[in-house]
Structure 1
Amino acid sequence: MSTSDDFVVITGGPGAGKTTLVDELQRRGFPCIPEAGRRILQDQITVGGQARHEADSLLFAELMLSWDMCSHREATRQAGTVFFDRGIPDVVGYYLLLGQPIPAHVTAAAQKFRYHRRVFLAPPWPEIYTRDRERTQDFDEAVRTHDAMAEAYTRHGYRLISLPRTDPDSRVAFILQRLPPQPEN
């Protein structure tokens, strides 16, 4: 059974290679938790729902929070290190991006559902950034999202480690060289 010290988050703005990296970690046999936002958007688009960034962003935030809390609980059933494509503090970052007050229950969730103190942050990367059916933000918004995520995780006491802009294999090596985490004095 995993504990929050085994939960490693990879975060950042959209289009920075997070999901490709998490997919590569999963291919190598690590348990991985997919990003809530993309899954929710896929479902909402399929059914014509309003819980989308460009429609009802606050409803979208609530669904992401619910998904992420459920994913956190489910991850405790895994053994060893579990990688997360985003975490609950990303919802805090989303409120920051929107310029909205952060609801008390969102702050409480970010404090209660914890991850490893080191969080890997994928920097904005214009050379690989693309839009698609779910990723409708322009690159400037992707940069603002990155900054909001960095702020959210920092507010909640996490130490950010910036990922290099390199191929997925090198990014995996970069992360694995930093795991298992050594106690810090």
Structure 2
Amino acid sequence: MLKLVLDCDVDVAWRALRSPAVLRELYSPVMGLEALDADGFPTIWEPGAHRVRVKAAGAIPVGDQIIDLEFIERRDGTRILHDQGDPVSGPLSKLAGWDHQMAVARDKHDPTKTLYRDRLVITGAIAPLYWYPLWATWQWRGARIKALAPSWAYDPPLPGDEEDDEVGATVEGAI
């Protein structure tokens, strides 16, 4: 589990969590992600299943994964991206379960910042062998998120503009 305060607005962080471009930038250059869906990566993740191929160093296939997303918004303003997908090939497919939740909320000490929580639960007889490598990956991932967050940008639609997530959206520095 990670618990970080990000130097960006909560709406910006929520947009970034739902962006395949940000996900790809987050893991680059250590890992690459290739969309296996016919239409490639969407601009913004939609609820449902998305197939991806994970590549070491962005080039060597190491397994396929299904990212199965649902979005939850709580009354207290917390927004959660819940991935119930599973690795379907490669080393991680030996796990029995994969439950990943990322939550963002306005930081109560500084409303211009975001409280970010990230939890991964893995299960199965082989899970203890994966615990330390995944913990180390999550620490690295947290450092990358914290470093990238100030560069994320999102300009919400102005009154009268068509309400569409793609209008005015930018992810600076993303692939």
Q: Same fold (TM over 0.5)?
A: no
The structure in which a higher percent of residues are helix is 1
TM-score (norm. length: structure 2)? 0.31
Which has the bigger relative contact order, CA under 8 A and spacing at least 6?
A: 1
Based on CA coordinates, which of the two structures has the bigger radius of gyration?
2
